[in-house]
Structure 1
Amino acid sequence: MYPASLFSGIGGFDLAAEWAGWTNAFNCEIDPFCRRVLQYHFPDAKQYTDIRATDFSLWAGRVDVLTGGFPCQPFSVAGKRRGTEDERHLWPEMLRAIREISPRWVVGENVRGILSWNDGMVFEQVCADLEAEGYEVQPFVLPACGVGAPHRRDRVWFVAHRTNAGSETVREGADGLLSGRTVADTDGERRPELHAAAKSGETNERDYAGGYEIPHWERFPTESPVCGGDDGFSARLDGITVPRWRAESIKAYGNAIVPQVACRIFKAIDECERCY
């Protein structure tokens, strides 16, 4: 599989792709600190900065899985929740990239607050926009604790497959993303609140993918989530954090996805692809 990432941050999706044995084509991130992290750990990927000023049409038909944790600040309960009036509401830009690239799969991520903002208007809009572009969409609410993390961190994940790309349904092979548990309502209704969350504290056997050992949480809360191994990222990403960048590190980790969750989604995509 040939993936690429938008709103890449410090590379949560990129790291998960590496664990899955995939080669990332490009990343796109506006923050200078995050771009430096991406360049250090993913030097072979093409790097873009501002999604609003980038033409992705040269990647048309060349990307299998396009990912993006489009900015959550407009919908997060921790912010002002200005929604579509917030200049950081960049889902329309991600949709433009999807139109230009036409990937087989799209994996989007946002905070749970997107479900409640304006009675779920933007949540429904994301699903409707993807369907209008020819994708079958299945949203999930997946928590970090579902992959053994010592914190909940519920996130909404949009998994979409292009309907003319050789499959009949995105739901086939998607149930049980978290250790065999059912995480989607199979009647097709968009009811993320019905999705079962894995119980906190349960851990699984270590996974190996792409030649790498996927980190698990073992010492929480005895180590800082910024300088220790409890953030879900490899210790390699901690290595280039220096004191003068500490504030940038905290912000970057706070905005990051949990790559172990993304890796489970990628494994489900692989299973679907093998069935076709």
Structure 2
Amino acid sequence: MKSIELFAGAGGLGIGTGKAGFRPVEVVEWDDYCVETIRENQGRDVSIVKGWSLVHGDVRDVSFTRWEGKVELISGGPPCQPFSLGGKHRAHRDDRDLWSQAVRAVRESRPRAFIFENVKGLTRATFATYLSYIQLQLQYPSLARRDAEDWQEHLGRLERHHTSGAPLEYRLVTRLVNAADYGVPQRRERVFFVGFREDLGVEWSFPDGEFSADALIWEQAVTGEYWERLGVAKRDRVLSPRAEARARTLRKLGREAIATKAWRTVREALLDLPDPEHQPHASALLLNHRFQGGARTYPGHTGSPLDAPAKTLKAGVHGVPGGENMLLRPDGSVRYFTVRESARLQTFPDDYKFHGSWTETMRQLGNAVPVRLAETVARDVAGHLKAVAA
């Protein structure tokens, strides 16, 4: 199944859709470092990106009309800084807000489905009107904004069109999800926009996550099987007061009340990697696995505990925000995650190499979609597209 990937970044969403069975025929990205990351992996014959037709340029300069009716999927993550909790919150006033280009690509190519994602900040109350505007554009992409029309006027026209009883062009589902619920060893909340072309008649709901905090707490605080499986000494078995309190409730409910698998933790994700600080020679044999000194904690930035999913990896507006991308050991000491470790937490393949300095590669990873989450959503979409084509 053919697809187009917009705002590809380092490739997380595109790799995920590729693993789900889609074949990108056009991949658009303007950032030099991200493009070099993709090209370097293509040059290294990394199969998942080797066949990508990469366009290094501004999406605003790319026409998608030649793909009209010829692709099954468009996917992408329009730049999220305008809505990020760590950004400046400028939304539609920010030059990096490229949602209109995502809608244009849908309008010009008319894919059978689309998958777009963005940061949790887009769901904040202050952005509610603009979120509605994005949703209406995705449902009626042919109703384009006129040259002399500002976005509020366009929104009003879309609202009138929507309430007039006009038929939908795309059936849209919007859902805020936590990547940890889908087996990603990171608590990373993202909002997804998934749409199917109306003429396909697809009835779809977002796939449920199969992992939970409760299942992890049960294995750690009730049965202890988590610690035994990973060979963790009793002195290193650290639980938060909140987890201890939840465990008391779970003991009363019983394991049968938890119909999910345990959240994956930082310890599990990094278990077979050598410690870059104390095993530098072994670490040097792996891609992007080099110790970075200078980690320190400060209020609100205390690192990610080993025995829980990582906190959300951040790209930062002015470089890497230290406490957000650190490992917190049971003894209270901290160090920065290496690029390879961060890639593990974002579920990138181990043979995927990131181009640039530590700060630059961490920015790429902080902006990425976890590959496993992308694959889960895309695989479900692919299944529904195959079902209606059968």
**For this structure pair, what is the TM-score category when the shorter chain's length is used for normalisation?**
0.7 to 0.9
Whole-Å separation in 1 of the counterparts to 2:374 and 2:13: 6
Matching residue within 152, 157, 182 for 1:147: 182
Which residue in the other structure is 2:54 paired with? 47
State the SS of the aligned residue for 2:102: helix
Task: Confirm or deny that 1:266 pairs with 2:378.
Answer: yes
Matches of residues 194-213 of structure 1 in structure 2 within 5 Å? 201-203=262-264
- Indicate conservation of the 8 Å contact 2:211/2:262, yes or no: no
Whole-Å separation in 2 of the counterparts to 1:156 and 1:67: 13
Task: Give how far 1:180 is off.
Answer: 9.0
Which residue in the other structure is 1:169 paired with? 203
Task: Confirm or deny that 1:60 pairs with 2:121.
Answer: no
Whole-Å separation in 2 of the counterparts to 1:8 and 1:218: 26
- Indicate conservation of the 8 Å contact 2:10/2:37, yes or no: yes
Change (3 A) 1:71 1:218: same
Whole-Å separation in 1 of the counterparts to 2:19 and 2:171: 26
Change (3 A) 1:254 1:240: closer
- Indicate conservation of the 8 Å contact 1:141/1:155, yes or no: yes
Whole-Å separation in 2 of the counterparts to 1:139 and 1:43: 31
Whole-Å separation in 1 of the counterparts to 2:380 and 2:13: 15
Gap runs ≥5 in structure 2: 43-48, 142-168, 213-258, 272-305, 307-326, 330-335
Which residue in the other structure is 1:4 paired with? 4
CA-to-partner distance for each residue in 1:162-195, whole Å, 9 max, x for gaps? 101x224333xx442x2399xxxxxxxxxxxxxx
Matching residue within 97, 114, 122 for 2:105: 97
Task: Confirm or deny that 1:217 pairs with 2:252.
Answer: no
Change (3 A) 1:230 1:119: closer
Whole-Å separation in 1 of the counterparts to 2:260 and 2:7: 29
- Indicate conservation of the 8 Å contact 1:225/1:231, yes or no: no
- Indicate conservation of the 8 Å contact 1:150/1:201, yes or no: no
Question: Whose Rg is larger?
Answer: 2
State the SS of the aligned residue for 1:217: helix
- Indicate conservation of the 8 Å contact 2:354/2:361, yes or no: no
State the SS of the aligned residue for 2:126: helix
Task: Confirm or deny that 1:232 pairs with 2:352.
Answer: no
Task: Confirm or deny that 1:110 pairs with 2:222.
Answer: no
Task: Give how far 1:19 is off.
Answer: 1.6
User: Which AA in structure 1 matches 2:116?
Assistant: G
Change (3 A) 1:9 1:119: closer
Whole-Å separation in 1 of the counterparts to 2:83 and 2:270: 32
Which residue in the other structure is 2:14 paired with? 14
* Bigger mean CA offset, 67-76 vs 21-30: 21-30
Matching residue within 231, 238, 248 for 2:360: 248
* Bigger mean CA offset, 98-107 vs 31-40: 31-40
Task: Give how far 1:129 is off.
Answer: 0.7
Q: Percent same amino acid among aligned pairs? A: 26
User: Which AA in structure 2 matches 1:27?
Assistant: V
Query: TM-score, normalised on structure 1?
Result: 0.79
Which residue in the other structure is 2:139 paired with? 131
- Indicate conservation of the 8 Å contact 1:147/1:261, yes or no: yes
User: Which AA in structure 2 matches 1:44?
Assistant: G
Aligned residues: 242
- Indicate conservation of the 8 Å contact 2:211/2:263, yes or no: no
Whole-Å separation in 2 of the counterparts to 1:180 and 1:102: 35
State the SS of the aligned residue for 1:107: strand
- Indicate conservation of the 8 Å contact 2:115/2:195, yes or no: yes
RMSD after superposition: 2.5
